[in-house]
Structure 1
Amino acid sequence: MKRTIGKTLILLALSVALPEISNAQFVLSGELRPRVEYRHGFKSPAEEDMTAAAFISQRSRLNLAYKNEKMKIGFSFQDVRVWGDVPQLNLSDNSFSVHEAWGEYFITPTLSLKAGRMELVYDDARMLGNVDWAQQGRSHDIGLLKWEPASWKIHAGFAFNQDKEQLQNRIYTVAGNYKSLQLLWINRKWDNLGLSFLFLNNGKQNTEENGEIVSYNTRFSQTFGGTGSWELKPLTLSGSIYKQTGKDVPEVEIDALMYALSLKWSVTKTLSITPGLERLSGTSQKDAADPDFNENNSFNPFYGTNHKFNGNMDYYYVGNHINSVGLQNIFVKINYVKNRLSLGADVHLFSAAADIIDPENPAETLNKNLGQELDIYMGYKLADNVMLNAGYSQYFATESTIALKGGSKDETSNWIWASLTFKPQFLNTAK
């Protein structure tokens, strides 16, 4: 009885605070994710006599969402920290940030304008993803015009970044960010077939020469291509192909290609096996040593969720391996899901897509074999909003891996992790 009265009073209070409560929805939710990690050769092969790293990181988020017939608004505030990185009696720290803050206005039921700080997740997240594995995640300051009639989705986006409000000049110096970005995404779905086209015009600013700010010229590269998925039960065929052209920051011509193909076989309702191949072109170290060579053949997946694709130990394209020899990844993934339990195992066979020079004999090149990686992981749903995840990964390096990334082939390179994720919904006016 007391609980019923309490709920009634809350709803009455909301009715006063939100006059249009009957036509609107407000959701207040959260996320708490502590994760423990043991790293010995994570991101690059372990060095000889290297001491392993161990730590616990945590993401804490508070999410607010509001919508009615004409608009949607979303906020996501987060605190990302490593346990113990500030004193127990700390006065303040810099771990708090705004992950998302955006508004969307519906011009018509199918045409809308969305602007602010937001996550961008398109297709399989290969080129644009929220990098949810990273505790901080990825978000963009961007405006989107969205048209979504029936089974079509068409999004056009524009972003323009600056360090701060200024009275003159347009020099942008935030490392890793684009100066401006334009995107076009077109998606069409049928009963068992889905196709997407993506175009990115990525502008990065060249601001330094010999350590001094000299100009604000922006170099633009273009990425265009698409993805597709065709379901023929019990098989699902997926593929993607992207081409890159334009110029990089040093004003070198870009000519790069990426393609991927996989076939998922749903053996039973609970078991699936997915073999596949992905290839990202690279620049030959032999060609790059030629002073007359002036081309970049290394494909850059830019703002994708790269942790998802080339092994969980992040040796490739996770803040590394850019403008390098590329990558060929032959893989097999086995997944089992039943009730609250999920299990998985991935095997990756890595090789370079371009030549690697032998550091002991620069006139010769090494074998392109970059080694293998084994990823084992599990998840268990403890409750409706509580998830336990854990995993073990090991990388088996070769002489070519060591030549490219350093470390020792004789050391064991492995990684162990476990996380506990809470996702409570504190309030939902629709309920």
Structure 2
Amino acid sequence: MSSNRMKERAKPSLGLRQYAGIVAGVLSLLACPDVQAQDADDTEDRVTLQVRPRTEWRDGYKRLRQPGEAGELLTMQRTRLTWHHGTEKWEVRLGFQDVRTFGDMAGNTPTYGALAATESWGAWKPNAKTRITVGRQRIAFDNERIVGAVNWSQYGRFLDGFRWDQTTALGTTTAALTWDAPAGLTRIMGYHVYTSDRHRLSFLYFDQKNSLDPTASVLTSGATWTGKAKNEAVSWVVEAYAQEQRNDQPTSFMGVAELHGAFGNLGKALVALDWLEGDARGRAFHPFLGTNHRHYGWMDHFYVGLPANGMADARIHWTKPFGKAAWKAHWDVRYHRFYSPSFDNLYANEVDAVVVFKPTDFVQASFGWSVMRATEAMYASQNRAALANAWQQWGWIAVNFSPSILL
């Protein structure tokens, strides 16, 4: 073998030694008393792990089933590793995740999953009332109807940008600026929340500018009011939002009214009505950055699987703990009755049910099933051929392992 080839092969080893030396030097520096003394009393390092496999049976999930279409059984897994470092003045979070379908090839390629950053941000807290965060971060407001993190999805949602939180005697104000360069989107958010003993009032300004298609730019603004009775057994939520588009469409509106009740051993119940305006001319309210799976049925036919031209959702929820208290088990049943925005047509009836077991603080198992009965009006709204047996269904089993380790 020639001496030149031997030198070429020796280079990687030399680089590895240099890299190891740099790492060792940094660790030695961090181990010095002077470095450790900085904010030592308030320093916290925490590592959070998550392994969340979910097996799903999809038969009309997200889009109405067509004649001849068969259901699909699949398992997807989200694996996350997050490190959080915090002091009195500073915080840093670095998280990575891998999402893949069982049966795919091992490794990380564009076809078979990839390791990607979820949260990667740094925050400065000059005082107890001010916080400035820069980087890829989770942003969610109120009930996540307008801006949500979509944590139910294996991928989740994180936004790149800046966020400033300021607390005063009148509440907490948030200003955020985020970018999505490939989609040409710039988002400007202003949010304020005031909380008293029995009431919570928040205001949101959300301007999404589209540089690739300026007519698709949308401005959303509104308020959410949450209150509870003196006995705390009854509470309510009222939300009202307006949305303006740049394409000369009239302003569209969204309204939500919820009434919650706690009935002791019988559990908790909720009756509610969601209304999102829409008409045949294309005028419609779109909660495009909301966690819509949480609100409009777990079958995901509205604002998740397909765009919706407005809708109304009359719903009832009932949840109740059961079994041994140590297991922290509960079940949750929800009934949705979907209408067109004008209430002229019934779209579908849907029932969602889930049983959740939590034997420890970091282990949770969920078993869910949803069924939907769609009408001809809903088939027409999705431009799908109607079936004689119009039942759609989605079943799933999920296990979530999420231990947190304090270093």
Distance 1:381 1:194, change over 3 A: same
User: What amino acid maps onto 1:203 in structure 2?
Assistant: K
Pair 1:227-2:224 in alignment: yes
Worse-superposed segment, 333-342 or 403-412: 403-412
Contact 1:77-1:96 within 8 A present in 2 as well: yes
SS at match of 1:283: coil
1:317-359 Cα offsets, whole Å, 9 max, x none, are: 014224x2x100000000112431110110001011159xxxx
**Cα deviation, residue 316, structure 1:** 0.1
1:307 and 2:293 are equivalent in the alignment: yes
Runs of 4+ off more than 3 Å: 13-21, 90-94, 217-220
8 Å CA contact 1:262, 1:277 repeated in 2: yes
Distance 1:43 1:94, change over 3 A: closer
Instruction: Give the one of 366, 370, 383 matched to 1:389.
Output: 366
Corresponding position: 1:276 with 2:272: yes
What is the identity, as a one-letter code, of the residue corresponding to 1:78? Q
Judging changes above 3 Å, is the alpha-carbon distance between structure 1 residues 343 and 61 closer, same or farther for their aligned structure 2 residues? same
1:424 is the counterpart of 2:382: no
Q: Which residue of 1 aligns with 2:261?
A: 265
Q: Which residue of 1 aligns with 2:378?
A: 401
Q: Is the 8 A contact 2:99 2:113 kept in 1?
A: no
Q: Is the 8 A contact 2:210 2:217 kept in 1?
A: yes
Tell me if 1:159 matches 2:178: yes
Compute the displacement of 1:269 (Å). Answer: 5.6
Which of 97, 121, 124 does residue 105 from structure 1 map onto?
124
Inter-partner Cα distance in structure 2 for 1:270 and 1:157: 42
Structure 1 residue aligned with 2:355, among 361, 378, 392?
A: 378
The Cα shift of 1:221 comes to 2.0
Structure 1 CA distance for aligned equivalents of residues 216 and 188 of structure 2:
13
| Pairing 1:34–2:53 present | yes
Q: 1:218 to 1:180 in 2, by over 3 A?
A: farther
Give matches, 1:16-415, under 5 Å.
18-20=36-38, 21-86=40-105, 88=106, 90=107, 92=109, 93-149=112-168, 152-162=171-181, 174=182, 177=183, 179-206=185-212, 217=214, 220-232=217-229, 233-247=232-246, 251-268=247-264, 271-284=267-280, 288=281, 296-322=282-308, 324=309, 326-338=310-322, 339=325, 340-354=328-342, 368-405=345-382, 406-411=384-389, 412-415=391-394
SS of residue in 2 equivalent to 1:51:
coil
* 1:266 maps to amino acid: A
Once residues 62 and 203 of structure 2 are traced to their aligned partners in structure 1, the CA distance between those partners, rounded to angstroms, is 31
Once the two structures are TM-superposed, the CA of residue 270 in structure 1 deviates from its matched residue by: 5.9
State how far apart, in whole Å, the 1-side matches of 2:289 and 2:404 are: 29
SS in 2 for 1:242: strand
Q: Deviations over 1:92-138 (max 9, x none)?
A: 55421101111111122211211110111110011111101100000
- Summarize the Cα distance change of 1:18–1:218 in structure 2 as closer, same or farther, 3 Å threshold: farther
1:329–1:351 Cα contact (<8 Å) kept: yes
Name the aligned partner's letter for residue 198 of structure 2: N
Gaps of 5+ in 1: 1-12, 163-173, 208-216, 289-295, 356-366
Q: Decide whether aligned partners of structure 1 residues 269 and 152 sit closer, same or farther in structure 2, where only a CA change above 3 A counts.
A: farther
Which of 47-56 and 256-265 deviates more? 47-56
Deviation at 1:407, TM superposition (A): 4.4
In the superposition, relative to structure 1, how do residues 27 and 18 fare at CA in structure 2: closer, same or farther (>3 Å)? farther
Root mean square deviation of aligned Cα: 2.1
Identical-residue share of aligned pairs (%): 23
Relative contact order higher in (CA < 8 Å, ≥ 6 apart): 1
C-alpha separation between the residues in 1 aligned to 2:108 and 2:41?
Answer: 43
Q: Distance in 2 between matches of 1:94 and 1:15?
A: 40
Q: Higher helix fraction: Structure 1 or Structure 2?
A: 2
Distance 1:319 1:313, change over 3 A: closer
Separation in structure 2 between the aligned mates of residue 134 and residue 414 of structure 1, nearest angstrom: 18
Q: Is contact 2:368–2:395 with CA below 8 Å preserved after alignment?
A: yes
Partner of 1:4: none
Query: How big is the shift at 1:79?
Result: 0.4
- Structure 2: tracts of 5 or more residues without a match: 1-29
Whether the aligned pair in 1 keeps the contact of 2:358 and 2:364 (CA below 8 Å) is yes
TM-score with structure 1 length normalisation? 0.80
